Amino acid sequence: MKFNTLFSEATLGRLHLPHRVVMAPLTRSRSTQPGDIPNAMNANYYGQRASAALIITEATQISAQGKGYAFTPGIHSSEQIEGWKKVTDRVHGQGGRIFLQLWHVGRISHSVLQPDNALPVAPSAIAAEGQAFTEQGMLDFETPRALALEELAPIVEQYRQAAKNAKQAGFDGVEIHAANGYLLDQFLKDGTNQRTDNYGGSVDNRVRLVLEVTQAVTEVWGGDSVGIRISPTGTFNSMTESAPQTVFNHLVEQLNPFNLAYLHVVEQFGDGPVEDFDFAALRTLFNGAYIANGGYTGETADSSIQNKSSDFVAFGMPYIANPDLPERLQQGADLNEVDPNTLYGGDEKGYTDYPSLLQALEPA
DSSP string, 258-280: G--SEEEEE---TTPPPPS--HH
* pLDDT(316) > 90: yes
Percent of the chain with pLDDT over 90: 95
The answer to whether residue 3 sits within a structural domain is: no
The answer to whether residue 116 sits within a structural domain is: yes
Strand 226-230 versus strand 173-178 pairing type: parallel
Strand partners, 173: 99
Closest CA to 123 of 63, 201, 217: 201
Name residues whose C-beta falls within 8 Å of residue 42's C-beta, 6 or more positions apart in sequence: 30, 31, 73, 83, 86, 87
The answer to whether residue 5 sits within a structural domain is: no
The answer to whether residue 354 sits within a structural domain is: yes
| Per-residue confidence band for 2, with pLDDT thresholds at 50, 70 and 90 | confident
- DSSP state letter for 224: G
Looking up residue 82, the CATH number of its domain turns out to be: 3.20.20.70
* pLDDT(363) > 70: no
* pLDDT(272) > 60: no
Radius of gyration of the chain (CA): 19
First-to-final CA distance of the chain: 28
For residues 105-121, average pLDDT: 98
The answer to whether residue 4 sits within a structural domain is: no
- DSSP state letter for 286: -
The answer to whether residue 202 sits within a structural domain is: yes
Measured CA distances, 339 to 80, 140, 238, 299 (Å): 28, 26, 26, 24
Asked if 88 contacts 175 with a C-beta cutoff of 8 angstroms, the reply is no
Residue 101 burial (C-beta neighbours within 10 Å; 0-12, 13-18, 19+):
buried
Mapping DSSP onto H, E and C, the string for 10-54 reads EEECCEEECCCEEECCCCCCCCECCCCECCHHHHHHHHHCCCCCE
46 included as an active-site residue: no
H/E segment holding residue 121: strand 121-122
Encode pLDDT of 145-171 as tens digits.
Answer: 999 999 999 999 999 999 999 999 999
Encode pLDDT of 192-203 as tens digits.
Answer: 999 999 999 999
Strand partners, 226: 174
* pLDDT(362) > 90: no
Which string of b and e fits 291-308 if b means at least 16 CB within 10 Å? bbbbebebeebbbbbeee
d(C-alpha 110, C-alpha 131), whole Å: 9
The answer to whether residue 30 sits within a structural domain is: yes
* pLDDT(244) > 60: yes
Encode pLDDT of 324-359 as tens digits.
Answer: 999 999 999 999 999 999 999 999 999 999 999 988
Q: What is the DSSP string of 145-207?
A: EEPPGGGHHHHHHHHHHHHHHHHHTT-SEEEEEE-TTSHHHHHHSTTT----STTSSSHHHHT
Q: Which of 69, 159, 182, 351 is catalytic?
A: 182
- When divided into structural domains, the chain yields a total of 1
Chain mean position to CA 354: 22
Please give the residue range of the domain that contains residue 329: 10-361
Answer left, alpha or beta for residue 256, where phi above 0 means left and psi between -120 and 50 means alpha.
alpha
| Per-residue confidence band for 276, with pLDDT thresholds at 50, 70 and 90 | confident
The answer to whether residue 1 sits within a structural domain is: no
Closest CA to 91 of 189, 171, 177, 22: 171
Name residues whose C-beta falls within 8 Å of residue 55's C-beta, 6 or more positions apart in sequence: 22, 23, 46, 49, 91, 96, 97, 98, 99
